[in-house]
Structure 1
Amino acid sequence: MLLFCTVQCFAAAFARVLRSKAAVVMASMLCCSPVLPATGGHAVVVGHVSTQTFSSSRRKAVHVHPAAVAVKDDLSSSPAVTVVEEAERTTTVAPAKKKKAARWRPPRLVVPAVADADEALLGEAMAAAAKAEKEKEEEAEVEGEGFWVASRRGVRHAMEDGYGVITHKIAGHSQLAFYGVYDGHGGRAAVDFVADRLGNNVVAAAEKQRRSHDASPSPAVADHVAAAIRAAYLATDSEFLSQQGARGGACAATALVIDGDLYVANLGDCRAVMSRHGAATALTSDHTAARDDERTRIESSGGYVSCGSNGVWRVQDCLAVTRAFGDGGLKRWVVAEPEVSRTRLAAGCEFLVIASDGLWNKVSNQEAVDAVAAASGSKHSVDSCRRLVDMARRRGSRDDITVMVVDLKRFLSC
Structure 2
Amino acid sequence: MASGEGRRHHHRNLVPLAALISREMKSEKMERPTVRYGYAAQSRKGEDYFMMKTDCQRVPGNSSSTFSVFAIFDGHNGNAAAIFTKENLLNHVMGAIPRGLGREEWLQALPRALVAGQQDKLMSSFTIFLLPGETSGTTVTFVIVDRWTVTVASVGDSRCILNAQGGAVSTLTVDHRLEDNVEERERVTASGGEVGRLSIVGGVEIGPLRCWPGGLCLSRSIGDMDVGEFIVPIPYVKQVKLSNAGGRLIIASDGIWDALSSEMAAKSCHGLPAELAARQVVKEALRTRGLKDDTTCIVVDIIPPDNSVLSSPLPKKQNKLRSLIFWKRSLDSANKLAKKLSAVGIVEELFEEGSAMLAERLGNDSSVGQSTSGLFMCAVCQVDLAPSEGISVHAGSIFSTSSKPWQGPFLCADCRNKKDAMEGKCRSRVKVV
> TM-score scaled to structure 1, two decimals?
0.57
Residue 284 of structure 1 is matched in structure 2 by 173
The change in CA–CA distance for 1:412 and 1:301 in structure 2 (over 3 A counts) is farther
Report the CA distance between 1:257 and its aligned residue.
1.9
- Note the alpha carbon deviations across 1:62-113, whole angstroms, 9 max, x for none: xxxxxxxxxxxxxxxxxxxxxxxxxxxxxxxxxxxxxxxxxxxxxxxxxxxx
- Aligned 1:341-360 pairs, distance under 5 A: 341-360=238-257
- Note the alpha carbon deviations across 1:43-80, whole angstroms, 9 max, x for none: xxxxxxxxxxxxxxxxxxxxxxxxxxxxxxxxxxxxxx
Residue 403 of structure 2 is matched in structure 1 by none
SS of equivalent residue, structure 1 residue 163 = strand
- Aligned partners of 1:355 and 1:387: how far apart in 2? 13
2:84 to 165, 168, 193: 193
- Aligned partners of 2:107 and 2:306: how far apart in 1? 18
- Aligned partners of 1:264 and 1:286: how far apart in 2? 13
Specify the code of the residue in structure 1 equivalent to 2:67: L
Q: Are 1:322 and 1:333, in contact at CA under 8 Å, matched by a contact in 2?
A: yes
Specify the code of the residue in structure 2 equivalent to 1:286: D
2:129 to 240, 253, 270: 240
Structure with more helix by fraction? 1
- Aligned 1:6-405 pairs, distance under 5 A: 146-154=36-44, 156=45, 159-170=46-57, 171=59, 172=62, 173-206=64-97, 208=98, 211-212=100-101, 214=102, 222-231=107-116, 235=124, 237-241=126-130, 243-258=131-146, 260-276=148-164, 277-290=166-179, 291-308=181-198, 309-316=205-212, 318-330=215-227, 332-374=229-271, 376=272, 380-397=273-290, 398-405=292-299
Q: Are 1:252 and 1:270, in contact at CA under 8 Å, matched by a contact in 2?
A: yes
Identity %: 27
The change in CA–CA distance for 1:347 and 1:410 in structure 2 (over 3 A counts) is closer
Q: Are 2:157 and 2:177, in contact at CA under 8 Å, matched by a contact in 1?
A: yes
Report the CA distance between 1:348 and its aligned residue.
3.7
- Aligned partners of 1:400 and 1:248: how far apart in 2? 16
**More contact order relative to length (CA 8 Å, sep ≥ 6):** 2
- Aligned partners of 2:134 and 2:258: how far apart in 1? 28
Specify the code of the residue in structure 2 equivalent to 1:329: D
- Note the alpha carbon deviations across 1:299-356, whole angstroms, 9 max, x for none: 1111011135445111116111110000113352110010100101213431100000
The change in CA–CA distance for 1:408 and 1:175 in structure 2 (over 3 A counts) is farther
Residue 10 of structure 2 is matched in structure 1 by none
Specify the code of the residue in structure 2 equivalent to 1:394: R
Aligned residue pair count: 256
Specify the code of the residue in structure 2 equivalent to 1:152: Q
Report the CA distance between 1:165 and its aligned residue.
2.0
- Aligned partners of 1:405 and 1:356: how far apart in 2? 12
Report the CA distance between 1:231 and its aligned residue.
3.3
SS of equivalent residue, structure 1 residue 230 = coil
The change in CA–CA distance for 1:175 and 1:370 in structure 2 (over 3 A counts) is farther
Report the CA distance between 1:167 and its aligned residue.
1.4
Q: Are 1:182 and 1:250, in contact at CA under 8 Å, matched by a contact in 2?
A: yes
Specify the code of the residue in structure 2 equivalent to 1:315: C
Specify the code of the residue in structure 1 equivalent to 2:219: T
Specify the code of the residue in structure 2 equivalent to 1:270: S
Unaligned 5+ residue runs, structure 2? 1-33, 199-204, 308-433
Q: Are 2:148 and 2:246, in contact at CA under 8 Å, matched by a contact in 1?
A: no
Alpha-carbon RMSD: 2.7
- Note the alpha carbon deviations across 1:171-206, whole angstroms, 9 max, x for none: 123541111011000001011101111123224434
Q: Are 2:135 and 2:226, in contact at CA under 8 Å, matched by a contact in 1?
A: no
Residue 114 of structure 1 is matched in structure 2 by none
The change in CA–CA distance for 1:196 and 1:169 in structure 2 (over 3 A counts) is closer
- Aligned partners of 1:147 and 1:204: how far apart in 2? 26
Report the CA distance between 1:266 and its aligned residue.
0.5
- Aligned partners of 1:411 and 1:178: how far apart in 2? 20
Question: Bigger radius of gyration, 1 or 2?
Answer: 1
> TM-score scaled to structure 2, two decimals?
0.55
- Aligned partners of 2:139 and 2:306: how far apart in 1? 29
Specify the code of the residue in structure 2 equivalent to 1:404: I
Specify the code of the residue in structure 2 equivalent to 1:261: T
